[in-house]
Amino acid sequence: MPTTNPPKFTATSRMAAAALGAALVATSASFATAGAATVRPHSSVTLELYSAQGYDSYVVNAFNKANPGINVVLTDGSTGPLLTKIAAEQASHSPKWNLMWADGSTWAAAFDTSGWSQKSIIPKGTAYDAMGLANKPADGAFAPTGVTVTGGLCYDKVAVANNHVALPTTWAGLTKVPKGSLGMNNPSFSGPTFPLIASVMAHLGGISSTKNPTAAQVKTAIAKGEAFFQTLKNNGLQVHHTNGPTLGAMESNPATLDMATIQTSACYGDIAGGYWPSGAVKYLDYSAELPSSIAISKDVSKAQLAAAEKFVAFVLSVNGQQTMQKGDPTGDGLFWPVISKVTPESGVPAFSSTKAFAINPYVWGPQQNGIDTWFTNNIA
Amino acid sequence: MSRATHRLRHLPWSSAVLWTVLVVLIVAPVTTFLLCAVSPRLFSLGPQWFTLSSFSAAFQGHTLEGIINSLWVSTTVATLAVVIGTTLAWLVHRTNLFGAKVIGASLWLLLLIPTWMTTVGWINVVQPGELLSAFGLNTVGLSDWFFGAPGVIIILTTAALPFSYLIISAGLRGLGSEFEDAARVHGAGMRRALTTVLPIIAPALLGAFAISFAEAISDFGVAFTISQGHQAFPLATFTLFGAIYQQPSNFSVAAVIAMVLIVATIPPIFFQQRLMRGRSYAVLSARTRPVRRLQLRPLPRAIVSISTATFVALLVGIPLSGAVASSFTSTVSFYTTTGIHWTLDSYRGVFNPPPAYGGSLSGPLWTSSQLGFYVALATLVLAVAMARRMTVPNPGRSQRVADVFLLGAVAIPGIVLAAGYILFFNQAFLTHHLVDLYETTPLVVMGLVAASIPGQTRLLMAPVAQVHAGLGHAARVHGAGRWRTWRTTTLPLLSRTLVWAWAITFTKTLAELAIVELLYVPGHEPASVQIENYLGSVHGAVGAAATVLLLLEMLAVIGLSLGLFRVLAPRGWRRIGQVGAMA
């Protein structure tokens, strides 16, 4: 029955309320100051690093420890959300990002052509090896920091033996594998998949990374690539979002995939981590180089630019590359270093065995939206 | 008194303040985002100051297919949610069903679980190599069937059902059994009595339909997780997501899709307003009598109880068992070619993660908990104020606009809100001359409050509407001021409901992903972002363990809130504070 009498609070409830209130005030004070203290300290240069690398937090901790005057604050996430964040910041005419670090170089080339990033950020004297040099842009608008390979063939040895599947030796041979046995990722969700599709198209169209193709040549290459993927689709190609579900489909019991063409470092990670003892990797007649890249925002202060260049220099040093390897030893750390005198982690084969080649991100980057949309509409 | 002073004195200040808050929290950021559809140059997205080209791009191919799918799926989901919700509410509140309290609590549990968690749980059960495979079942066919329209409808109905159930329960609880009795006295059978009584709770039924529709059409978790497996079943939210996350982001097409989602919620709300125009549905007053339950005979009672319990157990149990089972392995699939590898490594990994994941989950959990506390508090204040305005006996144009606005706001996907927050609050003219809120805790809280207000207001409208205005009038006649009137009549009646509303907002904030992913303060990663990072990697089992721990924290918060209510609230409040109480 409703009443209008004043409520009767007991002495216990008053004491409990007072204790709760005091606790909340204390919590509020710490919460209100927490973000500001981390993001904007007064005594050092603060850099906001947006990164999708598995080893990023480990590298940032090592760098901050070695450089007390610089405070790199990490925003860790997947490539898609981070690029969206940056696009929204740029659209609001007040970018907050200072450094962006992720797999691929097409996004970095797009930053360059949009005028969002600094040029000439690669320190003089950087001891790039052949892979680093192959992926280094002429204007130095981004720095390749490592290379992985996408488009190798990951497969389950037990499933392949049980199903009497003869593994192909060429990409063309993938069109003849048993129906429904092959899988790959969707480029709309999986960052490394667009470079793979672009590499197939470049290979079929005869466009090397150093060539400046005409629009007609690119169009022809895309048409040949679309026809190839359509053939795979007609043969039961299964498309999952990302490496995780694709690997899961091969590692499950019963396996719904015998083999998949994905980023091989993910396969090495599962095998090295003991998650997939019957897993193996085979390289076909070619595969795609997938450099990881780092770029610096054009809207940084002088002090931030100097600090950001120092961070890039650290990443491109022997110590920096080894720190990256240690930061994610069963995942992203399984890359081929781009700096001389740094060797890959054990379990990673010689780069020459992958027969990987680089694509020109300035040629293929602008094609990404069209190709991704076509793939989602017709293949996924 | 001058005319100007007179006008100033009679300005509806409370209304103005409330609308100002809503404009800042929701209208301005969302409008800014929607402007991308027609004026790309405003945001350096293209050369045109005004163009409609994004509309033609959005209404073709895959995108158009997604819009059409979203419309029919959401209508189906809303209908199912109302039918099932009404049946469950009637069984729980108006019959002598065994375990009625457990059924109510289970539906609360469903409300706490975000759709991405439910979906991941279902995947952990039906996908080949997951839980069912371990029982020797070949789930390839089931999985193909499930990862299309059927799975989307099942999971979205599961997600919408608690909203529907709670709103209809609140309507039924305020409805004394005298209405049914009156119908029966006049010779009506059971069915006729029900058809007589149900229109009395028409606001609850229509409200349940509208919110279920809006929740379904704006849901992102299911669309992202299920509908784009190897069998494509596009939904508008997925194509919107694709447009935002493609490189470079296509905010213009995404804005058109967002417009469609928001506009699609208008027909249900207009239908509701048209049906309710000029009628009063206030049923709770000082004279409201306790409800008399229908006494089912032993056999029907047992059959109905077992059927209901099985149905609810499946809804809650399947996704939970999938997540729990996966959390006790460390492999990508639950059932591998070398069997099941039971281990506690995933739980150890949560607090001692691989170096790639920086720190343990405890830091992100603390951040999420703090966010949840403030978001729940702010949402409660605003949602109660909104619900009171929305439920005045003779609603004017302002209420009708607010009604459409609130439902439209439910249909705004979190990702649109988050992108809109960056586009608006990070504008150079604001950050350089007024206030720089981007990448600060207050902005994250604002974004999460903006996402919570529409749903919470809808949930609170039914209980608030049931508090008869006569109670307040009586208090005022006896000399009580406005605040005292509210404190001594409405607050005690709604106290338990308000505690539940606070707790539910808190727990939903803990698991929110779309907004915090884009807005979180660098260095202060919330738990949901860290869990998503795990789930998308080979450390999926660690993600499953972290999901289970997050669920446990949600339950602990609910338990603590109710416990504190028991300790702190006056005995009278505990006795009468049941209006619309949601358990």
Same domain as A221, residue A162: yes
Name the amino acid, one letter, at B362: S
pLDDT band at B131 (very low <50, low <70, confident <90, very high): confident
CATH code reported for the domain at B16-285+292-576: 1.10.3720.10
pLDDT band at B126 (very low <50, low <70, confident <90, very high): confident
Same domain as A218, residue A156: yes
Mean pLDDT within B263-268: 83
Same domain as A178, residue A110: no
- A218-232, B404-418, B446-460, B515-529: which is most confident: A218-232
Q: State the pLDDT at residue A3.
A: 39
pLDDT band at A2 (very low <50, low <70, confident <90, very high): very low
Q: Which of A155-164, A326-335, B60-69, B140-149 has the lowest mean pLDDT?
A: B140-149
Is the pLDDT assigned to residue A37 strictly greater than 50?
Answer: no
Residues of B in contact with A156 (CB under 8 A): 337
Q: Which of residues 396-435 of B touch A (CB under 8 A)?
A: 419, 422-424, 426-428, 431-432
Q: Which of residues 513-572 of B touch A (CB under 8 A)?
A: 517-518, 520-525, 529, 532-533, 535-538, 540, 564, 567-572
Number of domains making up chain A: 2
Q: State the pLDDT at residue B11.
A: 60
Same domain as A168, residue A50: no
Is the pLDDT assigned to residue B367 strictly greater than 80?
Answer: yes
Q: State the pLDDT at residue B467.
A: 75
Do B407 and B218 contact (CB within 8 A), yes or no?
no
Q: State the pLDDT at residue B536.
A: 66
Same domain as A241, residue A328: no
Closest Cβ–Cβ partner in A1, A7, A276 for B570 = A7
Mean pLDDT within A84-107: 93
Question: How far, in Å, are A134, B425, B501, B502 from residue B391 at the CA level?
Answer: 67, 32, 18, 20
Residues of B in contact with A48 (CB under 8 A): 439, 522
Mean pLDDT within B243-266: 86
pLDDT digits (tens, 9 = 90+) for B6-39: 665 666 677 788 889 999 999 999 999 999 999 9
Do B342 and B329 contact (CB within 8 A), yes or no?
yes
Do B87 and B95 contact (CB within 8 A), yes or no?
no
Mean pLDDT within B527-541: 79
Q: State the pLDDT at residue B277.
A: 59
Any CB–CB contact under 8 A between B338 and chain A?
yes
> Percent of chain A at pLDDT above 90?
56
Count of CB atoms situated within 10 Å of the CB of B299: 8
Closest CA to B493 of A4, A11, A17, A10: A4
Same domain as A231, residue A270: yes
Find the residue in A nearest to B341 (Cα).
A275
B244 contacts A84? CB cut-off 8 A: yes
Is the pLDDT assigned to residue A5 strictly greater than 50?
Answer: no
Any CB–CB contact under 8 A between B358 and chain A?
yes
Closest CA to B205 of B141, B268, B293: B268
Mean pLDDT within A306-334: 93
Q: State the pLDDT at residue A280.
A: 92
pLDDT digits (tens, 9 = 90+) for B462-502: 778 777 777 777 777 888 777 788 787 778 888 888 898 89
Same domain as A281, residue A201: yes
B523 contacts A13? CB cut-off 8 A: no
Same domain as A285, residue A174: yes
Print the domain residue range for A370.
Answer: 148-289+366-378
Any CB–CB contact under 8 A between B576 and chain A?
yes
| CA angle (B348 as vertex; B342, B352 as ends), nearest 5 | 150
Mean pLDDT within A99-111: 93
Q: Which of residues 53-72 of B touch A (CB under 8 A)?
A: 61-62
Q: State the pLDDT at residue B2.
A: 63
Mean pLDDT within B246-267: 87
pLDDT band at B438 (very low <50, low <70, confident <90, very high): very high
A4 contacts B489? CB cut-off 8 A: yes
Q: Kindly state whether residue A90 falls inside one of the protein's structural domains.
A: yes
Q: State the pLDDT at residue B425.
A: 95
* 3-class secondary-structure state, position A148: strand
Same domain as A240, residue A196: yes
Same domain as A234, residue A111: no
Same domain as A244, residue A284: yes
CATH number of domain containing A154: 3.40.190.10
Interhelix angle A106-114/A193-205, nearest 10 degrees: 90
Is the pLDDT assigned to residue B582 strictly greater than 50?
Answer: no
Q: What is the mean pLDDT of chain B?
A: 83
Q: Kindly state whether residue A17 falls inside one of the protein's structural domains.
A: no
The better pLDDT of the pair A142, B271 is held by: A142
Q: State the pLDDT at residue A122.
A: 96
Where do the structural domains in chain B lie, given as residue ranges? Answer: 16-285+292-576
Our CA-based measurement puts residue A220 at a distance from the nearest CA of chain B, in whole angstroms, of: 22
Same domain as A330, residue A202: no
pLDDT digits (tens, 9 = 90+) for A114-132: 999 999 999 999 999 999 9
Q: State the pLDDT at residue B14.
A: 72
Q: Give the N- to C-terminal CA distance of chain A in Å, as an integer.
A: 61
